[in-house]
Amino acid sequence: MEGLLRTAEELAGRYGISYYEIRVTRVTASHLSMQNGQLEELGMNTEVGIGVRAFNGAWGFSSANDMSRAGDAIEAAMKIAKLSRGDSKIYLGDPVKDRAEIRPKKSFLDLDIEDKLALVKEIDSLLRGGDISNRSVYYGDGLKESFYFNSLGSEIETVVPRLRLSFSVTARGNGEMQSYWKSFGGTAGWELVERIDLNRWTAFVREKAISLLHAQSPPSGEFPVIMDPELTGVFIHEALGHAVEADSVKNGDSILAGKLGERIAVEGLTVVDDPTLPGKFGSYVYDDEGIKARRVEIIKNGVLVNYLTDRETSALLGLEPNGHGRAQGYSYQPLVRMSNTYVEPGDWSFEEMVEEVKNGLYMIGDKGGEVDTANGTFTFGAKEGYIIENGEIKAQVRDVALSGWILNVLRNIRAIGDDLRIEFPGYCGKGQWVPVDDGGPHVLTRALVGGLR
């Protein structure tokens, strides 16, 4: 590393570069997937690489997966920056020297690949039976060791473990096919796997997929809707979270541009993005720009109080960077990204919410969708739903979708539950993929409901 520091300093002087940053990363990972009892992927690998950014009013970037070419990557980034000279500014701040490690209780690196394969086989076996026509199991883990330094004098070493397990089934019957799935994950070790009740959750997924074969189609129209914690998290992440990423604000792709300090939701709503939550899938200690991770209140009591920022957008908007510059890996430039995004709990019980609804729906889980942050519209599918009539949960519905205008849904919130859950790990795509988590309590609002095509 001392040699890299000297090389970077010499080249910066030669090319007239005032700011640069270098990330050296090693990831040790394993991936296993199985489909209907057939092993489709079994991989173990270690990858080492370097990513370099240089700033000269515009960014220059280069990377290499061969550390013997590290000097070439540094020089290429600085050449690009010099040739791309612009008039942008970035937040610099004070240098940081630190070493931070998220320590698992039981490292997955200490387990043999046979143990991980045995887990995948056990889950596949438990998913068999009944009307199940298709089974899928995925396991992945990775230990990311990173060394970051920049021209300010920052030197930051971080070690972060991450593990994810997911499984799904498809049921076939009555001329129909229905799917259901469950995921677990976190910045943790094998202890996360040992806490999972595999018998319970595989039976749950099987039974849900089969029951959906007999569920009815949803009604269409505008209704009171109770979102479960998973759907609450997806709504907040997709519909609100992307709109407060400051690069969207900068590029004019957000309905929330220029709205800091304005009330955009009901008074009781507080929304947070917090990469410091212990053990969550989207957690980290420092972002990929060497900024310390921190809890950010996005909405506080209905008022928009923060955007998520990186070094460049914070300088443009006159804000402090809040640790949300993230990259998929060493060969990607950091972008403004979320981490663990959630709605803070209120004081309603789920039973009180249901009693409040005379004619509406209870919608559960995430089945994908789309958001237009510039126009403020969204459509999300739910894994399943239930009709609510006169304060009672009735028939199950399938292929149900929730849609509307983001700000209307936020303003129409009538009740926020007391049952916070942040346990829905996944990967968020934005030209590159980063691990995230989201959640919240049950939330009662009003939105358009219809069937999925």
CATH of the domain at 146: 3.30.2290.10
Average pLDDT, whole number, for the chain? 97
Are residues 421 and 294 both part of a single domain?
A: yes
Are residues 92 and 45 both part of a single domain?
A: yes
- CB distance 408 to 201 below 8 Å: no
Are residues 187 and 288 both part of a single domain?
A: no
The pLDDT of residue 1 is above 80: no
Are residues 165 and 29 both part of a single domain?
A: yes
How far is residue 291's CA from residue 289's CA, in Å, rounded to a whole number?
Answer: 6
Q: Which of the listed residues 213, 242, 267 is the one where a domain comes to its end?
A: 213
pLDDT digits (tens, 9 = 90+) for 267-283: 999 999 999 999 999 99
pLDDT digits (tens, 9 = 90+) for 99-121: 999 999 999 999 999 999 999 99
How far is residue 373's CA from residue 240's CA, in Å, rounded to a whole number?
Answer: 8
Q: Which of the listed residues 213, 232, 253 is the one where a domain comes to its end?
A: 213
Are residues 198 and 326 both part of a single domain?
A: no
> Distances in Å between the alpha carbon of 356 and those of 219, 280, 361?
19, 33, 12
Tell me the two tokens of residue 300: 């506080």
Are residues 286 and 146 both part of a single domain?
A: no
Are residues 178 and 263 both part of a single domain?
A: no
Are residues 152 and 268 both part of a single domain?
A: no
In 3D, which of 335, 346, 307 has the Cα closest to residue 436?
335
Q: Which of the listed residues 213, 246, 266 is the one where a domain comes to its end?
A: 213
pLDDT digits (tens, 9 = 90+) for 194-209: 999 999 999 999 999 9
Are residues 125 and 60 both part of a single domain?
A: yes
How far is residue 68's CA from residue 81's CA, in Å, rounded to a whole number?
Answer: 22
The total domain count for the chain is 2
The DSSP secondary-structure symbol of 198 reads H
What local confidence, expressed as pLDDT, does residue 453 receive?
Answer: 61
Are residues 199 and 321 both part of a single domain?
A: no
Domain span including residue 38: 1-213
Give the pTM: 0.96
Are residues 209 and 233 both part of a single domain?
A: no
Are residues 52 and 140 both part of a single domain?
A: yes
